[in-house]
Structure 1
Amino acid sequence: MKWTDVNDIAIALADAHPDVDPLSVRFTDLHAWVLALPGFDDTPERSSERVLEAIQQAWIDEV
């Protein structure tokens, strides 16, 4: 997965953190959690606030 795979990341986050409310996650934690996902293979610096917002919104939609 890459940072652009927003929906795949959201699904993986929902599976990895089923008891977490996506709205309660700080972007610094979200960034770290995405980097820790199995199958995620992208440069940490390619992330941005806009990308993290899109991931968070997709995660909200997923749950």
Structure 2
Amino acid sequence: MKWSDTLDIAIALEEAHPGVDNVNLRYTDLHRWVMALDGFDDDPAKSNEKILEAIQMAWIDERD
């Protein structure tokens, strides 16, 4: 997975952190969790607030 794979990342995050409040989270935590996902292989420096926000929104949608 790469940073652009927001839906795949959201699905993996939901599987890895099903009980987390994904609405009120810190982007530093989100970044760390994405980096720790199995199958994630991208440059940590390529992430930014816009990408993390897109991942968060996809995760919220995935849970609903």
Pick the TM interval, shorter chain.
over 0.9
- Aligned pairs, number: 63
Distance in 2 (alpha carbons) for counterparts of 1:16 and 1:32: 12
- Identity value in percent: 65
List structure 1 segments (4+ residues) > 6 angstroms apart after TM superposition: none
Aligned to 1:45: 45
SS at match of 1:24: coil
Deviation at 1:51, TM superposition (A): 0.1
RMSD (CA atoms): 0.5
Q: TM-score, normalised by structure 1?
A: 0.98
Q: TM-score, normalised by structure 2?
A: 0.96
Deviation at 1:18, TM superposition (A): 0.5
Which one-letter code corresponds to 2:20 in the other structure? V
Deviation at 1:21, TM superposition (A): 1.6
Counterparts of 1:1-63 in structure 2, within 5 Å, are 1-63=1-63
Richer in helix (by share): 1
**Unaligned runs of at least 5 residues, structure 2:** none
Distance in 2 (alpha carbons) for counterparts of 1:20 and 1:7: 17
